[in-house]
């Protein structure tokens, strides 16, 4: 079974609108961390936002927020007021310190395209 | 502060040749990771160093891959001899030591390896 599932291989969003990128995960760890990274066409992986399994509040970083629903094992990324520069691949990843050590397990990614 | 750097950015070699990839982590980061993304597949963990010691090399595909981190600073990943299926993007990431799930890994721009 996939540990991290991103069901949207590609998405379009109109500039200035909000968009939600889906991520579901599977773990038996009680303590785990969820991360989102952005990969623009230049190739580098940019850390966006983190959510810990014990965090009671949804994480927010500027225009990025994480809709964390623990019971449903989902950690969707919400980008508000999309900008042309948001066009990129977005990866959801999980760290399970007890099950898998320090490594990150990644989903397949979602390619977001922002239309002007 | 400089981020994670990787060299070379691109490498094209013939099957059977040797290639050495280099990663310079963020200064002060004891954790260093190698990941790989083969075309069309997810980003996969290869191995993890803590300082100069290999903490986890469970993701290394076979003995054609050799990683070193002499002195606990930069790391090299050598592929010898290279095969066609080794083509992909090799990412390096580094982080500070943390005991909780929030350890954030910062990625380099990757090395794009093409084996012909």
pLDDT of chain A, 116 residues: tens digit per residue:
569 999 999 999 999 999 999 999 999 888 899 999 999 998 889 999 999 999 889 999 999 999 999 999 999 999 999 999 999 999 999 998 777 778 999 999 999 999 99
Write B10-14 long-range contacts (CB < 8 A, 24+).
B10/B111, B10/B112, B10/B113, B10/B114, B11/B111, B11/B112, B11/B113, B11/B114, B12/B114, B12/B116, B13/B82, B13/B113, B13/B114, B13/B115, B13/B116, B14/B82, B14/B115, B14/B116
> Is the Cβ of B51 closer than 8 Å to some Cβ of chain A?
no
C-beta atoms of A53 and B101 within 8 A: yes
Q: What is the pLDDT of residue A99?
A: 73
Q: Å from A104 to nearest chain B CA?
A: 7
| Residue B34 CB-half CA count within 13 A | 30
């Amino acid at each position: 079974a996939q540990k991290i599932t991103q069901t949207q291989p590609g998405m379009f969003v109109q500039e200035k609108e909000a968009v939600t990128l889906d991520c579901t995960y599977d773990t038996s760890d009680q303590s785990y961390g969820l991360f989102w990274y952005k990969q623009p066409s230049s190739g580098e992986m940019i850390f966006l936002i983190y959510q810990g399994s014990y965090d009671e509040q949804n994480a927010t970083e500027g225009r990025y927020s994480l809709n964390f629903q623990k019971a449903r094992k989902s950690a969707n990324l919400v980008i508000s007021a999309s900008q042309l520069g948001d066009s990129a691949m977005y990866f959801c990843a999980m760290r399970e310190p007890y099950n898998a050590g320090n490594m990150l397990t990644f989903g397949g990614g979602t390619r977001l395209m922002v239309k002007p | 502060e400089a981020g994670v750097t990787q060299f070379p950015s691109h490498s094209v070699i013939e099957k059977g040749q040797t290639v050495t990839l280099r990663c310079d982590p963020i200064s002060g980061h004891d954790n260093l990771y190698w990941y790989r993304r083969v075309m069309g597949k997810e980003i996969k963990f290869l191995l993890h160093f803590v300082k100069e010691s290999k903490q986890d090399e469970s993701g290394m595909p076979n003995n054609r891959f050799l990683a070193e981190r002499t002195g606990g600073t930069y790391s090299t990943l050598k592929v010898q001899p290279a095969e066609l299926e080794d083509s992909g993007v090799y990412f390096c990431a580094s982080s500070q030591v943390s005991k909780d799930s929030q350890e954030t890994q910062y990625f380099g721009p990757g090395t794009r390896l093409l084996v012909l």
